């Protein structure tokens, strides 16, 4: 035993060894406070492993708890910093579960056709349109936002996935030049870049609508992880399929010369190619005069998928989510 009747112990935590000298009448709570200062492991998360351990309350002495001179103790427990990280992950997980739970609790509307019912329209929609009055030509901005909110394909996916957005508004290019879209608090507001950088006009409708699909995905998923990518690709595919079905008067997507898609992203590209052959999303497809019609369509599909992937990468870089 150390001089003066002290007990000398060594406490190990994740490879670090901490020698301590304690009086026999020192309490367990005193020891745990010392260990929190040394290791950053909060008292309530500390677990002490040592030979001869006795069950004892925190106000018991270390002697009564079985501590002896020369004892080796193993401390197990997460640090405060690690707990903060785990709590942040848990908070995000709880937020997602809350959103999904709230959506599940809403009474689903019975939809028999792509037109939907009045009750579903009033529930799963954009409840307010707000152009920015300090920007030029707010009437045209309102017209574009209204067109987006009334877009049959957008209304279709909103009903199908039970999306509700309180406010649909715009972003000012000079105020947030790095953003194309922003979702605030999982659907409290969606803000879209409608205008060109120098305010000489508006961006194309399909560009803005694709950003809108991206931001609607943030109603469920905050991060650009695999869950987000899958849902976002699904929304874009369903928009394209819906429009093609409307124009063809059917709700079935078929394509002669194409195999069944192996992923949601490939299906989305097929829907674009089949739905609007005049819209060259993929750019040059390196077709040659000797290619068969099937081969030319496959090359267009590959080029379209490449273009969609590049567009999505740009959206991820220029997208924001915010919580208040």
pLDDT of 78: 86
Strands, E assignment, the chain? 7-13, 16-22, 47-49, 72-76, 129-130, 167-171, 181-184, 189-193, 319-322
176: phi then psi, degrees, rounded to nearest 5 = -135, 70
Tell me how far the alpha carbon of residue 125 is from its chain's centroid. Answer: 21
C-alpha to C-alpha distance for 103 and 220, rounded to whole angstroms: 10
3-state secondary structure of 233: helix
pTM over 0.95: no
**pLDDT value, residue 81:** 81
pLDDT for 31 equals 93
The pLDDT value given to residue 104: 58
pLDDT in the model for residue 4: 55
Intervals of the chain under pLDDT 50: 1-3, 107-120, 251-265, 273-285, 324
| Distance between CA atoms of residues 114 and 153, nearest Å | 9
pLDDT digits (tens, 9 = 90+) for 47-66: 999 998 888 898 999 999 99
Residue 290, CA distances (Å) to 47, 120, 255, 295, 302 in order: 74, 51, 22, 10, 18
* Residue 5 tokens, joined: 């009747």
End-to-end CA distance of the chain: 58
Phi, psi for 170 (deg, rounded to 5): -125, 165
- What pLDDT score does 271 carry? 53
Query: What's the chain's average pLDDT?
Result: 77
Tell me what pLDDT residue 274 has.
45
Nearest partner of 100 among 158, 162, 189, 156, judged by Cα: 162
């Amino acid at each position: 035993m150390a001089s003066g009747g002290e007990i000398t112990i060594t406490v190990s935590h994740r490879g670090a060894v901490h020698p301590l000298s304690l009086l026999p009448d020192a309490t367990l709570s005193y020891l745990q406070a010392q260990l929190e200062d040394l290791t950053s492991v909060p008292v309530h998360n500390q677990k002490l492993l040592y030979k001869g351990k006795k069950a004892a309350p925190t106000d018991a002495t270390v002697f009564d708890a079985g501590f002896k001179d020369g004892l080796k103790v193993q401390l197990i427990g997460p640090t405060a910093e690690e707990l903060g990280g785990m709590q942040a992950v848990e908070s995000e997980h709880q937020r997602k579960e809350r959103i999904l739970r709230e959506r599940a609790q809403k009474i689903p509307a019975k939809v028999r056709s792509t037109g939907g019912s009045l009750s579903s329209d009033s529930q799963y929609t954009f409840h307010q349109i707000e152009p920015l009055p300090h920007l030029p030509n707010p009437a045209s901005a309102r017209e574009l936002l209204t067109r987006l909110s009334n877009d049959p394909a957008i209304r279709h996916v909103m009903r199908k996935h039970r999306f509700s957005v309180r406010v649909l508004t715009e972003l000012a290019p000079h105020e947030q030049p790095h953003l194309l879209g922003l979702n605030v608090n999982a659907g409290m507001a969606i803000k879209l870049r409608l205008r060109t950088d120098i305010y000489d006009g508006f961006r194309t409708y399909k560009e803005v609508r694709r950003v809108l699909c991206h931001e609607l995905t943030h109603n469920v998923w905050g991060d650009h992880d695999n869950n987000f990518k899958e849902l976002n690709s699904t929304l874009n595919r369903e928009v394209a399929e819906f429009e093609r079905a409307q124009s063809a008067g059917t709700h079935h997507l078929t394509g002669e010369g194409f195999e069944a898609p192996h992923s949601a992203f490939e299906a989305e590209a097929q829907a674009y190619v089949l739905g609007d052959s005049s819209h060259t999303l993929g750019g040059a497809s390196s077709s040659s005069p000797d290619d068969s019609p099937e081969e030319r369509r496959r090359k267009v599909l590959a080029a379209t998928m490449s273009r969609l992937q590049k567009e999505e990468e740009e959206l991820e870089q220029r997208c924001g989510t915010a919580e208040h």
